[in-house]
Amino acid sequence: MDEANTKETIDRHAAAVEAGDWDTVIGDLSTELQAHAATIAQSLPQPVTSAKVLSVEVGDDETVAQIHYAGDTSAVTIQSHWRDIDGTPRIVQAGPVD
């Protein structure tokens, strides 16, 4: 995976979640995950008031990112797995970190 492009996409994704730009957020999901977007969104604070990329581990075939999302009364760290799909980084798996 292209490191610079992947990191830029992950930063943009975190900013989109914070801004409530759900079109961009859903566009970052693989086709398989798009059907589960509502379930994934339910694990986030409502509303998200800040998003901070904690880590990005770029691999040849997959990148793993951890993003901390905070709201007024709760917070969660989501670990997402990104793969290059048709030349664009897309989330293929995501869930809260314990």
pLDDT value of position 71: 97
Q: Which domain holds residue 69?
A: 3-96
pLDDT at 82 over 90: yes
How many folded domains does the chain comprise? 1
**Can you give the CATH number for the domain in which 87 is found?**
3.10.450.50
β-strand partners of 79:
66, 95
- Nearest by Cα to 78 from 55, 91, 96, 53: 96
Q: Which DSSP helix (H) or strand (E) runs through 92?
A: strand 88-96
pTM value? Answer: 0.95
pLDDT tens digit sequence for 32-58: 999 999 988 899 999 999 999 999 999
